[in-house]
Structure formats: structure tokens, C-alpha cells
Amino acid sequence: MSKYSKDPKAIADLTPRQYEVTQEAATEPAFRNEFWDKKDAGLYVDIVSGEPLFASTTKYDSGCGWPSFTAPLDPANIVENTDRAFGMVRTEVRSTHGDSHLGHVFDDGPIEAGGLRYCINSAALRFVPLADLEKDGYGQYVSLFDHAASTGAQA
């Protein structure tokens, strides 16, 4: 059983925008969100469940105005659904345990990193800085950043 789950208290504490995005599948404005240009080393976790979703090591500037990642940290923490809203077909991305709407995945990402772009709403995420990973219960991910530092990848 996972230690991550949809937390009613976390949902009650969401801001109106966080609630609209995670619970009602809204989209926040491009370039006017917390993490679109954040470059600090750390993890991005589901704001509702705390499940780890993305690492800064796979974040890149796609120019779209939302945080973009080439791959999820653990594919088991991501659910993909067909989204037919607004007269188009897209692939929605949700967190597995929190069931939060995160954003969408597209096939226009960097080819050398697999070709995917996970376009994620900042409002669905909480950032855990590298320095706080151990303290906040994500210590098993610290080694990802050792590897990034040794290869010259963005941490």
C-alpha cells in the first residue's frame, strides 16, 4: 500500500486556483504561475497527496509558459487519460494516488530525451528543494542529483 493518498485536509487547504486545477481540471495562465521558470534543484510533488512526480533534472524550458518535464520521476505515480475537451484530443496527466489533474503530455519534447513534454500546472505541484529532501521524507531521491552533478545535467 502506498503512503500517498488523496488527503481531504490538503484539499481543504488549497487556494482557489489550486482547487480549480487539481479538482476541476482547469489550466492556470501561461507565464503567470509559480514554477514555469524555476531552475532550483529538487522534486515536484503532488500538492494533494505528496507523491513524487517530477525531478528538476528532467525539467526544461519548452517556451510554453508552464513547467515542462521530459519524464515523470516514477511512471507508477502518473495516470494518462484521453481528454476530448475543447474539440481536440489530448492526453491528460493525473497523479495516481491523489487523483489530481496535473496537465497534459505531448509528443513535441526533446527527441534526445524521449520526445515527450509533460506540460504541468504549477498549481498542482509543491516544490521540495534538494536541501529538504531528507527532512521531508524524500531522501531516497537525493542520489538523482549526485548523478546530475557528475554528468553536468541541470539539477
Measuring CA to CA, which residue among 126, 151, 150, 112 is closest to residue 42? 126
Q: Which of 55, 102, 105, 119 is catalytic?
A: 119
Cβ pair 125, 100 in contact under 8 A: no
E-strand stretches of 23-153: 42-46, 52-55, 59-60, 68-69, 78-83, 90-95, 101-106, 117-120, 125-129
Told to judge if 64 belongs to the known catalytic residues of this protein, a careful annotator would answer no
Just list the catalytic residues.
Answer: 119
